[in-house]
A and B are shown apart, each in its own frame.
Chain A
Amino acid sequence: MKRMVRTLADVVRGTRTKYLVLTLIVGVVIIIGTVISPFFLTLGNFQNVLVVASIMGVAAVGQTFALLIRELDLSVGSVMSLVVVVLVAIQGSSVLDLTVAVLACLVLGAAIGALNGLFVAWARASSLIVTLATMVLAQGIALQLRKSPGGTLPSGFSAPLRGYVYGVPVALLIFLGILLVAWFFLGRTRLGSHIYATGMDDQSARLAGVGVSKMKVLCFMLAGLLAAVSGILMAGRLSSADPRVGEPFAFESITAVVLGGTTFVGGQGGVIGTAYGALLIALVRNILNLADVSPFYQYVARGLILFIIVAAYSSSHLLRRRT
């Protein structure tokens, strides 16, 4: 127990330095953006960046739960696509219709997550192959429901999602709410520490009385649920359905999580870092767009950035703890 306390203290100390560094990086990126384009530092552009960061952030917070238990969820993007397609397929626009639609999407996301979790926890399959399978499955369903981009979201639905409260995008408020709850849940509750314990060493955690299998299913359900929320926000932003809109998000959400310092070792990191990660990705992408960089170069840039970040983390002494 004493050792546990000391380890946690180390983690907290390391975490503070990490947030400092991440805040500095965000600052530097903002300065670079300001230099590159006069349009960068405008309210409209920042609102846009924050909406993009929020949509990615919600999915990435879900992905954080998967990485914390040493797994990963490749199905996040397909779940988003599926949710967008389902929402646009809903025709009614009364409050009741929309509530039912949103609930249905959340249940759908959580159900796909539960499927992933059950396969990983009880069938003891690797999350890589399981979530690859559900990724293909959900993508197939989305394409079955809608072959090509189109359709419109009822305005009664998209209007509130695209709205602003005193200039703050609603999507950002939703993201911050989710972030707060996730942070409290992981850092301040018993279940949260059980998740960390499962990720650090599931055998020891099991011996210590943690319901390891339940924790794994829970984490995948949260990943699926949050992917669905992210899909709903995405639908609000697009106002129409694209059955492939979520495709890049499996990669992007993992990048955001890893950027925020949650490692593949398991049991390390947290959602605040992930929020930084999502913000950084949104900022960098925005700057590349403003600088008129070809989207093809952006692929290369994204790949290299992920590469460099992971290398930087793994070589920094502060997070060096290999299994």
Chain B
Amino acid sequence: MHAPPVRSAAASLRWILRGGRATYVGVALVLVFAIFASPRFARPDNLLDLVRRASYLGVVALGQTVVIVTGGVDLSVGETISLSALLITEVTLGRSGMAVPAILLALGMGLAVGLVNGLAVTRLKLPPVVVTLAMMITLKGVYLLYCNAAPRGLAPASIRFWATERIAGIIPVAALTWVFVGLLVWFALYRTAYGRRLYATGGNPLATWVAGVRTDAVVVSAYMIAGVAAALSGILLAGFVGYGVVGAGDTYMMNSVAAAILGGATFAGARGSVFGTTGGALFMTLLLSLLTVLGLQYSAKLMAQGLVLLLIVYAYSRQAGRSGA
């Protein structure tokens, strides 16, 4: 959070590439590359649109970061997003009057999913990977059952506005939401005792418990934050797509984990930042957008994503501590 004294060019390069800052270097590089590939990429309109699209991922990635800070991981966020988006379109069926109940229902669902995940991890002492993997499959079944694999709902105009429109034709409302959530998480992580407890629990749960912190409650709250963040992403995504689809959130599990890890979080816990994850979400969105500009097909996009992820994992691995899966 504060800069160490800069000694040499090599040292300052290392400083820039450490933790979250590297993602912004990545963002700049991809941006330059994209502008070379297609000069229209640099238009302010396009850039703002990119930020809007990044906000869908950015919100859920913040929740994912909170879980990773405690030493866990939430693999169920993708399906939580899908179910949340589906709840919005199926409950409202396009009626704006139903928007608020649907939003509350979706957020409540996210909260409940996080609560179950958290309780399973803390009470039953199960590995987070297994718990959230099981939750992921269960939720997939739930949303397929709910819409019988054939969603027919629509997003109400108000939610479509929230997800896609801009204030004064400039600032995307979705991006404002992202900034708001980011500030909220930032405040919670860095300006409250609760944030310290989160990091302490991730660093050494036993020592933190001995120090008088109810670590179980801290972990449960982290999963609940991830669940609500995923639900919020799902609401935005429903507004963006405009109608009900199956598997709206499929790619968000991997991308949210990737954004957090790129932003300096490690599975060992106690690392990860709002600043870094935000850069990570921007980077992943920009990368996909660049691949689209280059005219790559879905399959080639997957390959490129996998390769870039490996490359970054390699670049990071040398400096960060690690733990088992």
List residues of chain A with CB under 8 Å of any chain B CB: 70-72, 115, 119, 123-130, 132-144, 147, 251, 254, 258, 264, 266, 294-304, 306-307, 310-311, 314-315, 322
* C-alpha gap A258/B307 in the complex (Å): 30
B137-A303 in contact (CB<8A) = yes
24 A-B residue pairs with Cβ-Cβ distance under 8 Å, sorted by A, are: A119-B310, A119-B317, A123-B313, A123-B318, A125-B317, A126-B267, A128-B325, A133-B307, A133-B309, A133-B310, A134-B306, A136-B254, A140-B299, A254-B130, A296-B144, A297-B141, A297-B145, A299-B140, A299-B144, A302-B141, A306-B130, A306-B137, A310-B130, A314-B126
Secondary structure of the B side of the interface?
helix
**CB within 8 Å of A: which B263-319 residues:** 266-267, 297-307, 309-310, 313-314, 316-318
* C-alpha gap A251/B138 in the complex (Å): 12
**In the complex, what residue of chain A is closest to B254 when comparing beta carbons?**
A132
Instruction: Report if B120 contacts A (CB, 8 A).
Output: yes
A311-B124 in contact (CB<8A) = yes
**In the complex, what residue of chain B is closest to A300 when comparing beta carbons?**
B141
B124-A141 in contact (CB<8A) = no
* C-alpha gap A134/B301 in the complex (Å): 13
**In the complex, what residue of chain A is closest to B251 when comparing beta carbons?**
A136
Q: How far is the CB of B74 from chain A (nearest CB, A)?
A: 12
A132-B322 in contact (CB<8A) = no
Q: How far is the CB of A59 from chain B (nearest CB, A)?
A: 16
Contact-size category for B: 35 or more
A136-B302 in contact (CB<8A) = yes
B137-A136 in contact (CB<8A) = no
Q: How far is the CB of B29 from chain A (nearest CB, A)?
A: 19
* C-alpha gap A138/B299 in the complex (Å): 10
A310-B129 in contact (CB<8A) = no
Chain B residues with Cβ below 8 Å from A142 are: 299
Instruction: Report if B174 contacts A (CB, 8 A).
Output: no
List residues of chain B with CB under 8 Å of any chain A CB: 73, 120, 124-127, 129-131, 133-142, 144-145, 148-149, 254, 257-258, 261, 266-267, 297-307, 309-310, 313-314, 316-318, 322-325
**Which 5 A-B residue pairings sit nearest by Cβ, starting from the closest?**
A299-B141, A137-B306, A140-B302, A303-B138, A140-B303
A129-B261 in contact (CB<8A) = yes
A314-B137 in contact (CB<8A) = no
Partner of B134, one of A134, A306, A314: A306
* C-alpha gap A138/B131 in the complex (Å): 26
**In the complex, what residue of chain A is closest to B305 when comparing beta carbons?**
A136
Q: How far is the CB of B226 from chain A (nearest CB, A)?
A: 16
* C-alpha gap A82/B309 in the complex (Å): 19
**Contacts A129-B313, A307-B120 given; does A314 touch B125 at CB 8 Å:** yes
B324-A141 in contact (CB<8A) = no
